[in-house]
Structures are given as C-alpha cells and as structure tokens.
Structure 1
Amino acid sequence: MSPSTLSSPAVAPALDSLIHPIYARLLRMLLQQAAVDGDGVLALAGLDWSTLVSDDRPLPRETIIRLIEAALAASGRPWLGLELGRQAPVSAHGPLGYAAVTARDLSGALQMLARYGAVRNASLAWVMRPVAAGLHLQAVERVEWGRARGFYLDTVVAAMLSVIESALGQRPAGISVDMPLPTPAWAAQYQRFAPVQFRFGQPLLAMTVSAEAARLPCLGADAQAHASACRDCEAALAVLADRSLVQQVSALLAAAPAGAYPGLPAVAQACGLGPRTLMRRLAAEGSSFQLLLDAARRNRALWLLQHTHRSVEEVASELGYQDTSNFSRTVRRWFGCTPGELRRPSASAAREPARPGYT
C-alpha cells in the first residue's frame, strides 16, 4: 500500500449512470424469500422483472428512492438494507468484486473498493489514507437520498464487509465503521457483523481497518486475474468519464435537494468549466442549462403529483416556485393540463414518461 492518499476518480454521477440494476434484482429476490410481493414492489418503483433482469443500464436516483421506500413499507424491516448488502455475492459487484478478492491482501482489496467503487455505485466517492491505526476510508456522498438514505448506507456498508469476508475467508477483528445516522432502535441487527465496531451519530460514513487486519492475505490472491479485473474496471471508469456534458448536468440537477437547484455558475464549477464554456458546450450538444433545469423540474413535478399526497402548493414550493399560479401555468405548458387533472388516473397513464433517464 502506498503511503499517499488514494481517492476515487472524479466521476460525477449521471441520472442514467448511478447504481447497477443487479442490486434491484437482488432486492426483489430477498423480498420474495421473505414472502413479500417483490414484483408489486418493483411496480411501485416503475419497474418490472422481465425488463430489469435483461437490462443492464444503471438505475437513476428517483427510481432507486421509490424502490427503497416501497421495499421498506412492504417488508416492515427497517434493517432490510443490511440484509441486501450481506447477501450480495462477489459476482454481484462485477469486475470491482473480482479485483478486490484477487488482490494480494486486505489493503489491496480496499484500494480496489476505493478506486473503482464508481463502476457499480456512482453516487459515492471514496478517499483512502493511512492513519496511525492503519487505514481509513472516508466516503463522500454525491447524491441526496432523503428518507432512503439509511437503507442505502446500510447496504453499502454491509456489501463492503461481505466482500472483505469473502476475500479473507473470515470476519477479521480491527474494523470499525462510522455511521452518519442516529442509533436506530434495531441497532442489534448490526451485531451480525461482529467483531466489527459500529459508531453511530458520526459526521461522515467511514471505515477504519487496523494495520494488522490490512496485512491479512486474500485467499483468492491471483496476480493475473487481479490485473485482468483491474483492466475491466479501468475500462468501465472510462465509459463513465466519457459521457456527455448534458448527462453530467442532468445528474447534478436531478441529485439536487428539493427546492435548491444549483445555478449555472455552481453547475459549471462542479463540471470543472467556466459558465460560458458550459453554455457553449451544452449548445454544441443541442441543449442548454435552462432546458435541462426545466426537464429536472418537470420530472420531479410529475413524480410528486402522481405518487404523493402533497398539496399543489407544497409541490410548487418544493420545486422552488413561490407563486403557485405560476407553477400551475408551467405544469399546463409541460403536460397540457392542470396539476389537479394530472393526478387523475387517465391523465397519469397518458403522460407517464419512460423510466427517468432513459429514452
């Protein structure tokens, strides 16, 4: 392990490049095993099994949130994220999983998780650095998950611990996890990962691994297989980095907290460009910042009006409209009907768009 800090590549999450659908497939199977109607849960998120099992395009944020909320409500198990991450096999993580378990030791496996995590989950970035205690991995959350955040973070942590166990053939002592969540009433569920120490109420998601644990050898260490998996991960990262600027800007707008859409200067800065350069490059792709902002608001408005019981005034406010009448006029421009009419089943069926982020 190099003593220098290791960071994930600067790959911004895109609306159509967020989380691989295999985790939704695993969630459906987990629900079915618990005698919960997994297909019904998928339907509430706008998904169906036949498409999900054959389509490898990553799922966008809004779809994932709907899926998590529906799964939690149907199962009545707030620790479901832990179960999902725990049951995910190494193969579920694709080349990232194989790169980790074929590394020489746990230190090398953690380097893989830090560098290539975005190929399976583009909504987190990892920074790994040596500390006095051993190694410290700190997560940077790139996406606002709202009420689905606890489930999401549980899944990430449980999946990482599962990969570590697969790599070493054991659950080593000397691992602690900082959770940026209050201690849940069901905290005992985390004990299944003993001897891992969980600390709740922390400012950031992080994992610390002792120097002794970091030196433990991986059972499947294989230099040739490891190099091959790393090449596949690099190729996957290149695909993420090469996506269009329209996709990058759409991602930033879609991930913005409700009612707090960033302005052109902030988006330009996030993309590493000046405002004029951003406008010029978007124009070259046949779009503009205003068009993309309009699309982000349109998609969120449709979801809120069709899938929540919030009043029109509340939806308008959440989307940043101070004048409800102005919001109503905008909805009519978007969909050809009023917000109230849009909530009627006939109007909803006629205007329901394709899965967000897809054409």
Structure 2
Amino acid sequence: MSSTVSPLQPCLHPIYARLLCAALRQRGFDEAQILAGTGLDWAQLHGDNRSLNFAQVQRLVRRAVQLTDCPWLGLQVGCATQVSAHGPVGYAALACADLRGVLQVLERFSVLRLSSLRLTGYLEGERYCVRADEEFDLGDVREHILATIAGTFLRLLEAVCGALPVGELRFTFPFAEPAWGAHYRELLGPGVEFAADCYSVSLPLAWLDRPSLSADPQAARIALRDCERQLLDVREGGDWTTRVQLRLLACEGRYPTLGQLADEYHLSERTLIRRLREEGGNYQQLLDEVRQELACWLLLNTPLSVEAVAERLGYQDTSNFSRTFRRWLGMTPNAWRNGQLAVPAP
C-alpha cells in the first residue's frame, strides 16, 4: 500500500455513489434515510462531478448496508451497472478491437474512476490475470468495493464479447469466505475463491483475441484521447478545486489565507477566485468541506477527544467547533461519533 495516498484525497467518481443511492431508492428508502449521518448532500452528490474521497464512500457504504442488511449489496450493484456509467473509460473499452485492448484500457485508465486501487495485468501460465492493489487500507468496506468491481468487470466483459462461459473466469478476494458466499458464485460463476492475497480476476489467454461486438476504431481514438487528456490532468494535480483541496488536507490546523494560497500558485488572488468560481466553488466552501471531512475522519478513526479534534482543525474554541459541526451534520461531534461507531461493519 502507498503511504503517500490519503483516504481523504478524491478517489471515486460520484456516479458510483449515485448508483448505490439509486439501488437504495429502489428498495424504498428516501433521500433523508439514505444520507443520514453521511455528511453528504443529495443535490450536490447528484449535480457535482467532483470525486468523493474514501471517507465519504466509507460512510455511504456503511449506511447502505445498515439500511438493507445486505452485505453483498456491492456485488448486486456492480452486476447491474451499465458500461455507460464508466464514462470515457467505458466508451474506450467498448470501442476496442478485442478483449486485449479492453484490458489495456482498464489497466491504464481505471484510476480516472477509482484511484484507491491500482490495476496490474500479467501472464500466469495459460491465463491472463488482472490484480488490484490497495493504495491504502480499505478497511470495513473492502468487500463492498471489491465485490462491486467484480460485478462491474463481468458486465463489461459481457457487453464487449457477448455471453461468456463464466466457468472459465476466476475471481479471488482477499477476505475469508462470508456466510453469503453462495451469492458470489450465483452472480459471478463457480470460479470464486476467498482468502487470497489480493483481489484478482483471470481468464484464458486465448480470450484476449476475442473480437469486440462494438469495435469502432474512430470512436476508440476519440475516447482514448479524452482518457489521455484526463489522465494528464490527474498527473498534473487535477483541476483547481482538487489542487486546493489537497493543499488544505496537508495542513495541520493552520490554514493559508486565500491570498497566501494564490501566492503559492503564483497567481493573483482575483485569478484564483475566478478559476475556482469557473469550477463551481470558492475558497471558503472548500475550506469548510476539508474541515468537515477531517473532523469526521478523526472522530471515527482516532481516539482523539473532541477538544483535540477542534484544535487539530484550527478552532481555538471547542464550542465554536461543536456549533459548526452541528451545522454540518445536524448533531454534536460526540453524538455523531457514537452513532457511527454503533453502525455494524459491512
């Protein structure tokens, strides 16, 4: 696992959170029930394409499993996900000439949709394997995330190649077989193994030359150019909103002013304001969001007292921090912490 990647850095395209919310709506839960205690806003989640960080994903998954009492919910959601949900990465994969090209697209560009895992392809005898290594500990939502990926991968293969002999596919998961393991074999086929070193999927080497049903060289070139452009943006630090978020996440209680931040980027204050506004935000909004996420993360994942968390976030007065936290999540820090810790792990 990489020690340079933080669980509070943006890591998941919001469409996957929307799909999870849609699955919960189909089960009869309303918006307020779905997002209770997550710190997420329904309108923002469905109208803003900024990636979610892992802490937000973790809270939403925990809430979803709590509501449904269905620990294999991620597998169901993954198996129901259409290829179009993957944006340019999905379009590029669909338009490839063959399955070999599809896997190359996934290995190179999956980071554009989910950056908490690193995909690597390799040969193993007469099989081709793709393994996923965690950039940081996925904790109690590991099963949900990996099961979702497995279901999504199977649907993508079927969209590209048509019906496949699923008995030839092998999925390995890095956790002990759960009591609901039969659901994995029902949805993914018989080649499911648990207690592995890492998540992986493998298929016969001969499958790599299977032609795509939707091969389109021109569409592939367009989609791949889009993917390469997005990948370059990511490597250069992302958009201005992401750059500012990451800079604020690196702070320890003393946050720079807007003017100081502009100086760091060699911009005028007006220029930085304009660039953030063009992306739909502003500095104070981003600072509030970073402080909220850090507060939730520290309350849930450390033994720090509320007073220590307030100090860590730059609040001189704990009561001021508590009032702000209540505005964010509708309850006091202690009440939120106790409620989250009482939620059973997925």
TM range (shorter): 0.7 to 0.9
Structure 1 residue 160, shift from structure 2 partner: 1.2
**Deviations 1:202-223 (CA, angstroms, capped at 9, x unpaired):** 0111111111322222111111
C-alpha contact (below 8 Å) 1:103/1:226 kept by paired residues:
yes
Structure 1 residue 143, shift from structure 2 partner: 2.8
Following superposition of structure 1 onto structure 2, how do residues 93-112 of structure 1 map, counting pairs within 5 Å? 93-112=86-105
Structure 1 residue 42, shift from structure 2 partner: 2.3
Following superposition of structure 1 onto structure 2, how do residues 124-163 of structure 1 map, counting pairs within 5 Å? 124-163=117-156
Are the structure 2 counterparts of residues 206 and 325 from structure 1 closer, same or farther at C-alpha, using a change threshold of 3 Å? Answer: closer
Does 2:192 align with 1:201? Answer: no
Are the structure 2 counterparts of residues 283 and 50 from structure 1 closer, same or farther at C-alpha, using a change threshold of 3 Å? Answer: closer
Does 2:92 align with 1:115? Answer: no
Q: Distance in 2 between matches of 1:332 and 1:205?
A: 36
Residue aligning to 2:317: 336
Structure 1 residue 49, shift from structure 2 partner: 2.5
Structure 1 residue 232, shift from structure 2 partner: 1.1
C-alpha contact (below 8 Å) 1:102/1:221 kept by paired residues:
yes
5+ unaligned residues in a row in structure 2: which ranges?
A: 253-261, 267-287, 331-346
**Deviations 1:316-344 (CA, angstroms, capped at 9, x unpaired):** 2xxxxxxx799378359525116xx856x
Q: Distance in 2 between matches of 1:198 and 1:137?
A: 15
Give the percent of matched residue pairs that are identical in Structure 1 and Structure 2: 29
Does 2:11 align with 1:18? Answer: yes
Does 2:188 align with 1:227? Answer: no
Q: Distance in 1 between matches of 2:313 and 2:217?
A: 60
Q: Secondary structure at the match of 2:121?
A: strand
Q: Distance in 1 between matches of 2:263 and 2:194?
A: 46
- In structure 2, give the amino acid aligned to 1:327: A
Q: Secondary structure at the match of 1:130?
A: strand
Are the structure 2 counterparts of residues 213 and 73 from structure 1 closer, same or farther at C-alpha, using a change threshold of 3 Å? Answer: same
Are the structure 2 counterparts of residues 132 and 30 from structure 1 closer, same or farther at C-alpha, using a change threshold of 3 Å? Answer: same
Are the structure 2 counterparts of residues 52 and 327 from structure 1 closer, same or farther at C-alpha, using a change threshold of 3 Å? Answer: closer
Are the structure 2 counterparts of residues 73 and 352 from structure 1 closer, same or farther at C-alpha, using a change threshold of 3 Å? Answer: closer
- In structure 1, give the amino acid aligned to 2:107: A
Q: Secondary structure at the match of 1:23?
A: helix
Q: Secondary structure at the match of 1:53?
A: helix
Greater shift, 14-23 or 180-189, is seen at: 14-23
Residue aligning to 2:258: none
5+ unaligned residues in a row in structure 1: which ranges?
A: 1-10, 255-260, 262-281, 287-294, 317-323, 354-359
Residue aligning to 2:70: 77
Q: Alignment length, in residue pairs?
A: 293
Structure 1 residue 24, shift from structure 2 partner: 1.1
Are the structure 2 counterparts of residues 122 and 250 from structure 1 closer, same or farther at C-alpha, using a change threshold of 3 Å? Answer: farther
Q: Distance in 1 between matches of 2:313 and 2:131?
A: 45
Q: Secondary structure at the match of 1:56?
A: coil
Structure 1 residue 154, shift from structure 2 partner: 0.9
C-alpha contact (below 8 Å) 1:175/1:208 kept by paired residues:
yes
C-alpha contact (below 8 Å) 1:179/1:204 kept by paired residues:
yes
Q: Distance in 2 between matches of 1:130 and 1:305?
A: 41
**Deviations 1:10-46 (CA, angstroms, capped at 9, x unpaired):** x967845311111111111101111233442224322
C-alpha contact (below 8 Å) 2:291/2:313 kept by paired residues:
no
Q: Cα RMSD (Å) of the superposition?
A: 3.5
Q: Secondary structure at the match of 2:234?
A: helix
Residue aligning to 2:303: 315
Structure 1 residue 225, shift from structure 2 partner: 1.2
Following superposition of structure 1 onto structure 2, how do residues 147-186 of structure 1 map, counting pairs within 5 Å? 147-173=140-166, 174-186=168-180
Residue aligning to 2:26: 33
Does 2:325 align with 1:348? Answer: yes
Q: Distance in 1 between matches of 2:104 and 2:52?
A: 25
Structure 1 residue 102, shift from structure 2 partner: 1.6
Structure 1 residue 195, shift from structure 2 partner: 3.5
- In structure 1, give the amino acid aligned to 2:119: W
Q: Distance in 1 between matches of 2:74 and 2:89?
A: 20
TM score, norm. by length of structure 1:
0.71
Are the structure 2 counterparts of residues 182 and 247 from structure 1 closer, same or farther at C-alpha, using a change threshold of 3 Å? Answer: same
Q: Secondary structure at the match of 1:47?
A: coil
- In structure 2, give the amino acid aligned to 1:192: E
- In structure 2, give the amino acid aligned to 1:179: F
TM score, norm. by length of structure 2:
0.73
